[in-house]
Amino acid sequence: MYPSRFRYEAPRSLDQAIDLLRTGGGEAKVLAGGQSLVPLLKLRFAAPELLVDINNIPGLDYHRVDPDGTIRIGALCRHADLERSTVLSSGQPTMAAAAPLIADPIVRNRGTLVGSLCHADPQGDWASVMTALGGHVVAQGADGRRSIPVAQFVTGPFQNVLAIDEIAVEAVVPAPKGTVAGGYLKLERRVGDFATAGVAVAIETSGELITRAGIGLTGVGGATIDAVDAAKALVGRPLSAESIGQAADLAAQAARPRTDHRGSAEYKRHIVHTFVVRILSRITESAERAA
Amino acid sequence: MTQALDEIKIGGLGASRKRVEDNRFVRGKGNYVDDIVLPGMLHMEILRSPMAHARIRSIDTSKAWAIPGVRLVLTGEMMATRNLAWMPTLSYDTQAVLATDKVRFQGQEVACVVADDPYIAKDACEAIVVDYEPLPVIVNPRQAMAEGAPLIRDDKENQHDNVVYDWEVGDRAGTDRAFEQADLVSKLELHYPRSHPSPLECCGSIADYDRSTSKLTVYMTTQAPHIVRAAVALVAELPEHMIRIISPDLGGGFGNKVPVYPGYVISILASILLEQPVKWIEDKTGNLISTGFGRDVYLRGELALRKDGKILGVRMHTDADHGAFFSDAQPSKFKIGLMHSAFACYDVPTAHLTARGMYTNKAPGGVAYRCSFRVTEAMFFQERMVQAAADDLGMDQAEFRRLNFVRDDDFPHRTPFGFLTDSGQYGKCLDVGLEAVGYQDFLRQKEEAKKEGRLLGIGISVMTEPLGAGNSREYDILGIKMFDSAELRVHMTGKAILRTGAKSQGQGHETTWAQIVSHELGIPAEDIVVEEGDTDTAPFGMGTYASRSTPVAGAAVAMVSRKIRAKARKLAAHLLEVSEEDVEWELGRFYLRSAPDRGVTIQECAMAAYSNMPDGMEPGLENVSYYDPPNLTWPFGCYIATVEVDPETGVWDVLNMVAVDDCGVRINPMIVEGQIHGGLTEGFAKSSMQWITFDEEGNCIGSNFMDYLIPTAWETPRFELLETCVPSPHHPIGAKGVGESATVGSPAAYVNAVIDAVAHLGVRNIDMPLLPDRVWSAIQSAPSG
Amino acid sequence: MTSLYEEISPDPPDNVPVRRVTMTVNGEKRAADVEPRLLLAHLLRYGFMLTGTHTGCDTSNCGACTVLFDGKAIKSCTMLAVQADGHDVETVEGLATASELHPIQEGFKHEHGLQCGFCTPGMMLAAKALLDENDDPTEDEVRWAMSGNLCRCTGYQNIVKSVLWAAEKLRAEGRS
């Protein structure tokens, strides 16, 4: 498999990169980790005229926590960095659970979280996780930066809201106001498979009460699903068997799965339900253990 | 006294000798087809059909020709002017090389481009414009048989439907009587889904036609170079002695690299036309959607049972989906391969099999995917039917099998379908497996677990399978008898080169063949180099597939070694100045019976063959053997899996997998175990995730490794291997085939285990692959689910 | 190619973008003029004739093309050659010295961790990346680290044993 011909530029600064994208006039594509884009080029499902490789732009490979608890992930932070991150393992359970489930270990050495959000594959894991966390994508263009909630960033299968001369430079998880808990469960037939169905849950609690909740669904619709009603069912009360059941029912209702060779629509919906219950029940159990 | 040679130390029979081929492989110095670069080499890419069934209205290649670097664009029309638009298959059918009239499956070869590099060739393929008129699509045998179904093979005279063959074997009337007398008839319908061998290395060739010598050299990913040479001679109408097929290192084969594919043929024609070497390397999608698949057979099976558990008769009907062309690589006498080897390990009085093959708009094939010609399907059907029957009778799985096994003292045994099994100890094999897995304990655990809502299951699969075709009386491919060959040249210093007509693709022939020579002659294995795959140097052989190398070529290696030893004996007698009758043999040495200290080594005999032969003796120490086995070999095995099924998700995990294999005498135990590991993994893959399916339009689902799932190190279970050893009574060193036994036997163990876990809910069958959603759905729709 | 002679096409195609790249491959500095669309795996195989790096699939699944890129395992069929400009690449050919196999290579031979040999270079480099980071992995850690590389022959059991064998040897030699 051989990509079709394209021009290639590897700018050293974001400004140069944005300039190049503008001159590319919509026929240009940004190359970061390349773990989705390069296969698409090889299959000739993508045939850009210009490839703007941002890997040589310094200062984008970070992930860090601000003093207020905001998590920032640069455009060149690789999945493997997140998998090994003490920042996540100690403070962000939903992301920590998802990081090892992205693709396979070798792909994780190159692929990036921000690139994955931009790719907007309905079966992409990070989009659900960031949706559950109420995350943002920071896009930089000629006129400066803007911040877009992930739930609005992805507009459809393989579509995002970036203008042709904008680059997603950072993903942001807002600082939590309470104690965080959550998880990510993915049904895959083997390592590296796309999700048959995946569920990301992120909650914040203050005392017994849940103050914020987010539930993102992977692989059960034309795009990542923000299960808003399911999340709402959890907020303002303590986690209980009843609220878990309601959230699971609502999440399953929010799913829009299609039957394919990975499973029937009915099954995928059922898995969404099961996974919501499992993640939330584990949170309850570990809270009980801690108490 | 001279010290007798230690056979294990010299790398003889039974030594777990480290592999000699590894020295190059671990350095990255293997020599696969795509690693070969010839001066002036051009690159070929194939344009494939996106449609499963469509008439070709027109093909416009003008834009492709206009791309700089393009040297040749070929279409079916141009192939037809050379009479090469169609070629014969290995099953007496024809297959389109490049489509002329219509395309019959998605991925069919429509045009090709030869260019300076493969990137340009691909650009040019994209620039070819084909105008298709879509036709109705058939994706399974049921549709193919339906009244008014579109005719797929309208190219064939006298073909008025989509039936490839109707075939039967066994005793219909006798079987009918057995069913009339039965207390109980156990019925099961199964589908063994389409799968693809998908060796990591795809197919490819480099054709190099030299006008000045009229010689065609083709480097090719083939498991059977001599068959290919014959096929090329017939198809391309070239003299056979001017064709040299070289099969270099192969990145796996598993049956996928037995047939002759259009890509090979086109690259040959391109090289003849351009008088330059032309390389064609298939991409993974091309490999998965167009080359030889395995399985895709539907079964209707019935067992006639007496209430005490005795099997009185077997009735099987199979519908096989062969795709658009009947291109199975299999013995010509048997239309559905060796499906009738089913129930060979059971003492069944009578049986009858009817088999129908159908054309569909899917890729052609039905190759022996890591098995001996449909034996995988036969044994899977057998062991699934056996489990269902035991359940129907309310009998213990192990007990039911034990009751029906052919007894150890009942050999040779004629199976109800006519095979002659020659040896076996099935009961013992089962017992070894049951003990290893802790059968009774597990049954108790299972009941305990059930009380907690956990689902445990155990699956048994026992089988004996026919490996090592021929004999030549019954087995041939396109009329060429299935024997094999070995040629041994012992040099004057006692070092040797061995060549065979087989072709290793990971089995380690370079290591093991030398061990057989070492066993027969006492020459250290490291002093013997093994060469295969070059038709100009190797003796004629039928190649490596269907676990036939050790049974046939391996036997030839032993036999040619014995010929060498016979001549060496004469040389020894000459050197010792005695008559031949006074000479005795021990490993590596002839000695005087009357004075054992007086002797000569095989190396001294070799030197004498070139420097001091007796008067009247032909000089040299070389020979060749062609071995026609008297029977197939009958390895047997028992595979037992235990699993836990998550009732909420349908996900199942293997807790334990025990394999007991009896392949007779093991040449290299390390390599045998490696083969079994691979086979058990294939079984796990097919039972859990690995399949190819098609949507209603004939689009192949499973056309790349994102959708065609192969298990990784993470999911693959750990295996526990055990063995029994009943030597083959006719093989010269008592060996039997083994490369595929675990692929054949293990799928039913995994499936039986999952079914066992949910049988009490009323689940009787789930077709492979047992994807979590299928298991979950089966539980949901079961009477007590 | 000598500097005395290099044949060029009499009619070079128009508008083909070409870039010069320089990289360190197995400790040696290498340079080439490449089209941006050329995959790193193809530069290694067809340009530098390091054919031990295999290409098995087109979708970044099989890992036969795994090489070390600045010390990390990557799939070289999923990276453009131009992206390797200025970087360090290690292929299977860089594992052994002239006289001695790397313990990982020894391990694969000793424990029968390969059959057809096609996945082996990628497997060994994935193993090297693991052992560089963790010199005493558990069986599960090995299986997890190798799960981006497919093998059709071995069923992985002996591959895992090979890596554990190599880890032990590296520790014994104090090389880890």
Are A146 and A244 contained in the same domain? no
User: Residue B33: its pLDDT value, please?
Assistant: 98
State the DSSP H helix or E strand holding residue C2, giving kind and residue range, or none if neither.
none
Question: Domain B300-468+631-781, CATH 3.30.365.10 — does that match?
Answer: yes
Regions in chain C scoring below 70 on pLDDT: 1-3, 11-13, 176
| Set of chain C residues whose Cβ sits within 8 Å of the Cβ of A38 | 39, 60, 77-80
Question: Which of C37, C63, C79 lies closest to A4 in CB terms?
Answer: C37
Beta bridge partners of B95: B87
Q: Please tell me if residue B649 touches chain A, with a CB cutoff of 8 Å.
A: yes
> Quick check: is A93 in a domain?
yes
Beta bridge partners of B496: B490, B528
| Set of chain A residues whose Cβ sits within 8 Å of the Cβ of B702 | 261
User: Residue B79: its pLDDT value, please?
Assistant: 95
List the structure tokens of C82: 């131009």
| Set of chain B residues whose Cβ sits within 8 Å of the Cβ of C1 | none
Residue B368, phi then psi, degrees to nearest 5: -75, 85
Distances (CA, A) of B368 to A106, B90, B196, B285, C88: 33, 12, 10, 20, 44
- State the nearest Cα–Cα gap between A29 and chain B, in angstroms: 20
**Strand, coil or helix: what is B581?**
helix
Other CB atoms closer than 10 Å to residue B347's CB: what's the count?
16
- Quickly tell me which residue has 């987010």 as its tokens: A214
CA angle, residues B179, B181, B184, in degrees to nearest 5: 70
User: Residue C3: its pLDDT value, please?
Assistant: 66
User: Residue C2: its pLDDT value, please?
Assistant: 52
User: Residue B469: its pLDDT value, please?
Assistant: 87
Q: Please tell me if residue B677 touches chain A, with a CB cutoff of 8 Å.
A: no
What architecture does CATH give domain B33-135+202-249+257-290?
Answer: Alpha-Beta Complex (3.90)
- Quickly tell me which residue has 């836990």 as its tokens: B644
CA–CA separation, A230 and A236 (whole Å): 13
- State the nearest Cα–Cα gap between C158 and chain A, in angstroms: 19
DSSP summary character for residue B395? -
Are A35 and A89 contained in the same domain? no
What architecture does CATH give domain C103-172?
Answer: Orthogonal Bundle (1.10)
Contact B72, B291 (CB under 8 A): no
| Set of chain B residues whose Cβ sits within 8 Å of the Cβ of A4 | 122-123, 126
pLDDT digits (tens, 9 = 90+) for A42-86: 999 999 999 999 999 999 999 999 999 999 999 999 999 999 999
pLDDT digits (tens, 9 = 90+) for B386-424: 999 999 999 999 999 999 999 999 999 999 999 999 999
Closest residue in A to C67 (Cα) is A106
- Quickly tell me which residue has 């006008």 as its tokens: B211
CA B46 to chain centre: 27
CA–CA separation, B251 and B228 (whole Å): 18
User: Residue A37: its pLDDT value, please?
Assistant: 96
User: Residue A155: its pLDDT value, please?
Assistant: 86
Residue A266: is it exposed, middle or buried by C-beta count within 10 angstroms (0-12/13-18/19+)?
Answer: middle
Beta bridge partners of B87: B95
The amino acid occupying position B242 is M
pLDDT digits (tens, 9 = 90+) for A221-271: 999 999 999 999 999 999 999 999 999 999 999 999 999 999 999 999 999
Contact B297, B371 (CB under 8 A): no
Beta bridge partners of C69: C72, C89
State the DSSP H helix or E strand holding residue B74, giving kind and residue range, or none if neither.
strand B70-75
Report percent pLDDT > 90 for chain A.
94
CA–CA separation, A74 and A76 (whole Å): 5
pLDDT digits (tens, 9 = 90+) for A130-182: 999 999 999 999 999 999 999 899 888 899 999 999 999 999 999 999 999 99
Q: What is the mean pLDDT of chain B?
A: 96
Q: Which residue intervals of B438-554 are DSSP H helices?
A: 439-451, 509-521
Contact B84, B326 (CB under 8 A): no
Are A91 and A48 contained in the same domain? no
Question: Domain B22-30+484-627, CATH 3.30.365.10 — does that match?
Answer: yes
User: Residue A55: its pLDDT value, please?
Assistant: 98
Confidence at B2, pLDDT banded by 50, 70, 90? low
Are A20 and A75 contained in the same domain? no
User: Residue A290: its pLDDT value, please?
Assistant: 83
Instruction: Tell me which of A173, A200, A217 is where a domain ends.
Output: A173
> Quick check: is A96 in a domain?
yes
User: Is B371 considered catalytic here?
Assistant: yes
ipTM: 0.97
* Mean pLDDT in residue range B109-116: 98
Q: Are strands C88-90 and C19-25 parallel, antiparallel or unpaired?
A: parallel
- Structurally, chain A folds into a number of domains equal to 3
CATH number at residue A258: 3.30.390.50
List the structure tokens of B10: 């010299």
Buried b (16+ CB within 10 A) or exposed e, B13-47: bebebbbbbbeebbbbbbebbbbbeeeebbbbbbb
Write down the domain spans for chain C. 19-94, 103-172
CA–CA separation, C102 and B295 (whole Å): 42
Are A183 and A284 contained in the same domain? yes
Confidence at B597, pLDDT banded by 50, 70, 90? very high
The amino acid occupying position B141 is P
User: Residue C16: its pLDDT value, please?
Assistant: 81
DSSP summary character for residue B582? G
What architecture does CATH give domain C19-94?
Answer: Roll (3.10)
User: Is B370 considered catalytic here?
Assistant: yes
Strands (E), A115-196: 136-141, 144-149, 154-156, 159-160, 167-173, 179-187
> Quick check: is A108 in a domain?
yes
Are A223 and A168 contained in the same domain? no
> Quick check: is A1 in a domain?
no
User: Residue C174: its pLDDT value, please?
Assistant: 87
pLDDT digits (tens, 9 = 90+) for B523-545: 999 999 999 999 999 999 999 99
Are A85 and A141 contained in the same domain? yes
Closest residue in B to C58 (Cα) is B284
* Mean pLDDT in residue range B171-184: 98
> Quick check: is A58 in a domain?
no
DSSP summary character for residue B712? -
| Set of chain A residues whose Cβ sits within 8 Å of the Cβ of B772 | 187, 189, 196, 263, 267
Q: Are strands A136-141 and A144-149 parallel, antiparallel or unpaired?
A: antiparallel
User: Residue C1: its pLDDT value, please?
Assistant: 45
> Quick check: is A2 in a domain?
no
User: Residue C12: its pLDDT value, please?
Assistant: 66
List CB contacts of B551: < 8 A, sequence separation 6 or more: B467, B468, B629, B632, B633, B728, B731, B735, B736, B737
CATH number at residue A111: 3.30.465.10
User: Residue B330: its pLDDT value, please?
Assistant: 87
CATH number at residue A29: 3.30.43.10
List the structure tokens of C91: 């292929």
User: Is B27 considered catalytic here?
Assistant: no
pLDDT digits (tens, 9 = 90+) for A178-194: 999 999 999 999 999 99
Least confident among B472-486, B614-628, B653-667, B758-772: B472-486
Helix then strand then coil, in percent of chain A rounded to 5, is 35, 25, 35
Contact A54, A37 (CB under 8 A): no
Q: Please tell me if residue C24 touches chain A, with a CB cutoff of 8 Å.
A: no
> Could you say which residues from 179 to 238 on chain A have a Cβ atom under 8 Å away from some Cβ of chain C?
191-192
Are A13 and A87 contained in the same domain? no
Instruction: Write down the catalytic residue from B106, B143, B223, B603.
Output: B223
> Residue A199 is part of which domain span?
179-290
